[in-house]
């Protein structure tokens, strides 16, 4: 497993690999989508290195009805 110095380093390494991908090299237009928080520094480096525009995909978690993950305060209030 590779260890990165930080997310910027991860983005630089990912961009280096993507530049060598035939599908990326042959594409007429490449757009980099990044997910906020941890993905933005990675996406910014990839976009910069590929000379591609960067856009942000704003997402939120979807939960199954009635399911509360461990640590969720609502989980502790459920009746037995």
What's the chain's average pLDDT? 86
Least confident of 8-12, 24-28, 72-76: 72-76
- Is the pLDDT at 74 greater than 70, yes or no? no
Instruction: Provide the pLDDT for residue 33.
Output: 95
Compute the distance between CA of residue 22 and CA of residue 56 in angstroms, rounded to an integer: 25
Closest CA to 18 of 65, 66, 52: 52
- The per-residue pLDDT for 59 is 87
CA–CA separation, 59 and 21 (whole Å) = 27
């Amino acid at each position: 497993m590779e260890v990165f110095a930080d997310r910027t380093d991860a983005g630089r390494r990912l961009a280096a690999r993507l530049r060598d991908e035939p599908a990326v090299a042959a594409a007429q237009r490449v757009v980099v989508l990044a997910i906020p928080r941890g993905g933005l520094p990675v996406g910014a480096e990839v976009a910069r290195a590929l000379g591609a525009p960067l856009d942000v995909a704003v997402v939120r978690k979807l939960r199954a009805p009635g399911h509360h993950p461990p640590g969720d305060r609502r989980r502790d209030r459920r009746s037995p």
